[in-house]
Structure 1
Amino acid sequence: MEPSELRRAVEAGRATASELGLQVDDVVVIHNSDRVALRLVPCDVLARVAPSAHLADSAFEIEVARRLVGVDAPVAELAPRVGSRVHSRDAFAISLWTYYEPVESEIAPADYADALQRHHAALRRIDLDAPHFTDRIAGALRVVTDREQSPELPDSDRELLSDTLGGPSAAIGIENAGDQLLHGEPHPGNLLNTREGPLFVDLATCCRGPIEFDLAHAPEEVAEHYAGADHGLVHRCRALNWAMFSAWRWRRDDQMPDRDNRRAEGLNQVRAALDRCGLG
């Protein structure tokens, strides 16, 4: 978020928690992109604040978390003292979560794979109406093909992303892959290393698809420790994931900080991933 919007988001998170009886003397910005994560001190609650356009996503995330906690999934829990609902204030949607003190060490690939396998097992135990991952690919493709949505995207890069999202790679083994509920974006930024063990966050991206779609968001070594993974499919999914990431960064209204570098990184990663799986 831009500084002025961030200030409003911080105040919305602070005021919402205070009205619910939580003591908030200070607010620490943990993460800032199109939505923000705030540590509220000293109550030690994490507030996730998004523009009100994301109200449905925030409500969906809460429902996913509620169901997964019930089947012992390795996920962050909602704040126990304030109820499990989305709060609205000043054009923002606010949800309140348990804050976990981070452990500074990196999560080993084997532990990452174990957490993801347990998460997938838990997801197979719940019934949830979630979109298919191809719906997200179609949404990214619409951004790429609509010049009004992505006016600054150069023609050559527009062709690269369009071919990657809309070509044969977009159909990556859908007929033969075993679809199930997925996290949707279990990249390292969405896996916390805590004293309770690795915990997944940002559950609004839950969707249906092959487990390889999730594995493609993790570091490459993780798939080597995940039993039964199709490594060729992981590589093809990785190309799609970076193409979607790139599409979002070229949106006219994207608010990701350091967007120019993110745009360059995304395109470079798409090319590298395509070369890796022989589609360059």
Structure 2
Amino acid sequence: MEPLGLRRAVEAGRATALELGFHVDDVIVIHDSDRVVLRLVPCGVLARVAPSEHLAASEFEVEVARRLADVDAPVAELEPRVEPRVHVRDAFAVSLWTYYEPVGSQIAPADYADALRRHHAALRQIDLGAPHFTDRVAGALSEVAGREQSPALSDSDREFLINVLSGLSAAVSSGKAGDQLLHGEPHPGNLLNTKKGPLFVDLATCCRGPIEFDLAHAPDDVEEHYAGADLDLIHRCRALSWAMFSAWRWRRNDHMPDRDHWRVEGLNRVRAALDRCEPG
């Protein structure tokens, strides 16, 4: 966020916690993008703060977490000392979560795959209306389809992303019979290593699609430990996910840190992923 927006978001998170009776001496910014994640000290609360235009997404995330808690999914829990809901303050949507002290060791590929497998099993146990991943692709496609939304994108790269997004979306979605609820973006940044084991966060990306769409967000060596996964479909999904990532980075109003680097790197990652796909 811009500095002023970040200060307001921090204050919205702090004020919400104080109003609910938590003791807050300090606020530590853990993540700062279009949404921010705050550690509130010493009460042991994690606040996720988003501009109010993302209220529906924040409410959806809380509902996903609430339902997954009932089926013992490996996900971060909502703050148990208050009602599981989203609070609106000063044009921000604030949700409160349990803070987990991180464990320093890296998550082994087999443990990563096991956590994702258990997460998928839990997602199959809940009944939840969620968008199909192709809806998210369509959103990314709209960002690069016209110059108004992405004026800095060159004509050649725009055509490239349009072709990849539309072509791979159709190819990956052709076998919808195997679709299920997914995390949506279970990349390493969304999997915490805690004393309770690996726990997934950022549940607002929950969508429907093949399990390979989730596996495409994990490190390459994780797929080897997930029995039954279609490796070529993972490669196609990985190219598609990087194309979506790239489309969002070229948005006029994107606020990802180091955006200029990731605009170039994202396109390079798309091309590298396409090189691993089988012809056709």
TM-score tier, shorter chain, comes to over 0.9
Contact 1:33 1:257 (C-alpha < 8 Å) held by counterparts: yes
Within-5 A mapping of 1:237-276: 237-276=237-276
Deviations 1:96-148 (A, max 9, x none): 00000000110000000000000000000000000000000111111110210
1:4 shift after superposition: 1.2
Contact 1:172 1:233 (C-alpha < 8 Å) held by counterparts: no
Q: 1:264 to 1:187 in 2, by over 3 A?
A: same
SS in 2 for 1:172: helix
Q: Does 2:169 correspond to 1:175?
A: no
Q: Distance in 2 between matches of 1:172 and 1:90?
A: 43
- Could you tell me which residue of structure 2 aligns to residue 67 of structure 1? 67
- Could you tell me which residue of structure 1 aligns to residue 45 of structure 2? 45
SS in 2 for 1:148: coil
Which ranges of structure 2 fall in alignment gaps of 5 or more residues? Answer: none
1:278 shift after superposition: 4.4
- Could you tell me which residue of structure 2 aligns to residue 132 of structure 1? 132
SS in 2 for 1:96: strand
SS in 2 for 1:56: helix
1:275 shift after superposition: 1.0
User: Which letter does structure 1 place at the counterpart of 2:173?
Assistant: I
Runs of 4+ in 1 over 6 A off after TM superposition: none
- Could you tell me which residue of structure 1 aligns to residue 143 of structure 2? 143
Within-5 A mapping of 1:75-154: 75-154=75-154
Deviations 1:164-221 (A, max 9, x none): 0012x22234233500000000000000000000000000000000000000000010
Contact 2:213 2:234 (C-alpha < 8 Å) held by counterparts: yes
Q: Does 2:3 correspond to 1:3?
A: yes
Deviations 1:229-252 (A, max 9, x none): 000000000000000000000001
Which ranges of structure 1 fall in alignment gaps of 5 or more residues? Answer: none
Q: Distance in 1 between matches of 2:242 and 2:273?
A: 8
Q: Could you tell me the TM-score, scaled by structure 2's length?
A: 0.98
User: Which letter does structure 1 place at the counterpart of 2:19?
Assistant: E
**% same residue:** 78
- Could you tell me which residue of structure 2 aligns to residue 20 of structure 1? 20
Contact 2:172 2:236 (C-alpha < 8 Å) held by counterparts: no
Q: Does 2:231 correspond to 1:231?
A: yes
Instruction: Please give the root-mean-square deviation of Cα atoms over the aligned residues, in Å.
Output: 1.1
Q: Distance in 2 between matches of 1:13 and 1:2?
A: 16
SS in 1 for 2:48: strand
Contact 1:172 1:237 (C-alpha < 8 Å) held by counterparts: no
Contact 2:117 2:226 (C-alpha < 8 Å) held by counterparts: yes
1:257 shift after superposition: 1.1
Q: Distance in 2 between matches of 1:232 and 1:278?
A: 7
After TM superposition, the structure 1 stretch with the greater mean CA deviation from structure 2, 203-212 or 255-264, is: 255-264
SS in 2 for 1:175: helix
Q: Distance in 2 between matches of 1:97 and 1:173?
A: 34
Q: Distance in 1 between matches of 2:14 and 2:175?
A: 48
